[in-house]
Amino acid sequence: MIDIKSMNVPELTEFVTQNGFPKYRAAQISGWLAKGVTDFDEMRNIPSDLKTFLTARCYISVATIEKKLESRYDKTVKYLFAFNDGERVEAVVMSYRHGRSICISTQVGCKMGCTFCATGQSGFSRNLTASEMLAQIEAAQKDLNIRISNIVLMGMGEPLDNFDNVIKFIGLVSSEGGINIGARHITLSTCGLVPKIYELSSKKLQINLAVSLHAPNDEIRRKTMPVANVYPMDALLKACRDYFSATGRRVTFEYSMISGVNDSDDNARELAQKLSGMGCHVNLIPVNTVEGTGYKKSDIKRQKSFVNILAEKNITATVRRTLGSDINASCGQLRRKHSNEGGK
Ligand code: SAH
Ligand code: SF4
């Protein structure tokens, strides 16, 4: 069966015309898909022979809400979605003054095995298709009756380990006939797959790149991020500098502060030295405790001291406000909890 929602308009046009239907049907079908229909029968201006053909040959990806949690403290909403084959992922909708942001998943699980991450600890099941990434946004928009303005690929999975589908998704979601969220409103977060960063930069997209660093040197990084054994920090930082030269887009670094692991004043000084002259921004995130990892977040005093040292060395850093702390808003935690309670 063909995943019809992963096709862009030119592909859909080729598909319908090759099968003997007029070209203009492609735009009609695409319009219905963008509206989030879940069944071909809902496509009212499509003749029945075409509907029958589509039903026989294609399927429409949907994300069904399995669980929905709303924060008592802010407007954060977390979803556990199930896809057509029953696999589940998480997504989080956050409200800010300037709009609404959705954090979506790109894989079911993750192969990268970061030790602090609930997703990394649960293993890998499969890549998501482009349509399954779109379906998470459509389902959230429909459920909350809102329009989402920003997308972050920071849910479950490593986006650059699912490169082709993610690139396809970015093209589809930013197209005018589709959900229409421009590349500048999309942030892709990676644990640092260096060759893929170069491949991404060759695409010359206007998306924002966030790199999960979480350490000031390879020795510490290797303790929490196995990927550091494959791509050393020097090569990663060079890839980030080259990314900026090629695209003109600044890179943001993510740094989860873990008490006693990567949060000393010396760690801050070393980080500042490594990032010096990059014109980058550092997002500090007090680590979310995942059961069984034994990690604890750095206390407020540590957080402040770390930020101040970076600021003294002209590296702008902010401690990210943790939204939805009461609903396990850090991705991977809800699915894990669900599994432990007898779910998949
Ligand atoms: N795989 C990509 C994107 C998904 S993870 C990546 O690693 O960048 C999104 C972000 O959440 C990453 O910066 C990741 O390091 C961070 N993260 C994962 N588990 C976390 C936890 N328990 N506490 C705080 N941040 C966490
Ligand atoms: Fe995968 Fe990102 Fe989690 Fe690491 S932090 S295991 S790369 S999802």
**pLDDT value for 293:** 87
Percent helix, strand and coil across the chain, each to the nearest 5: 40, 20, 40
The whole-model pTM stands at: 0.94
**pLDDT value for 35:** 84
- Mean pLDDT (10-residue bins), the chain, 344 residues: 95 97 95 90 96 97 95 88 96 90 96 93 95 96 95 96 98 91 96 98 95 98 98 98 93 96 98 94 91 91 97 93 63 56 39
Pick the catalytic residue: 90, 132, 138, 158? 90
Is 254 annotated as catalytic?
Answer: no
Question: What is the full DSSP assignment across 219-265?
Answer: HHHHHH-GGGGTS-HHHHHHHHHHHHHHH-PPEEEEEEEBTTTT-SH
Beta strands in 140-236 (DSSP E): 150-153, 186-190, 208-212
Range 198-205, long-range pairs (CB < 8 A, 24+ positions): 198/239, 198/242, 198/243, 199/163, 200/160, 200/163, 200/243, 201/242, 201/243, 201/246, 201/247, 202/246, 203/167, 204/246, 204/247, 205/170, 205/247
CA of 81 to the centre of ligand 2 (A): 19
CA of 248 to the centre of ligand 2 (A): 26
**Contact 328 CB / ligand 1 (< 6 Å):** no
Distance CA 34, CA 143 (A): 15
**Contact 330 CB / ligand 2 (< 6 Å):** no
Is 331 annotated as catalytic?
Answer: yes
Contacts of 164 (CB under 8 A, 6+ apart): none
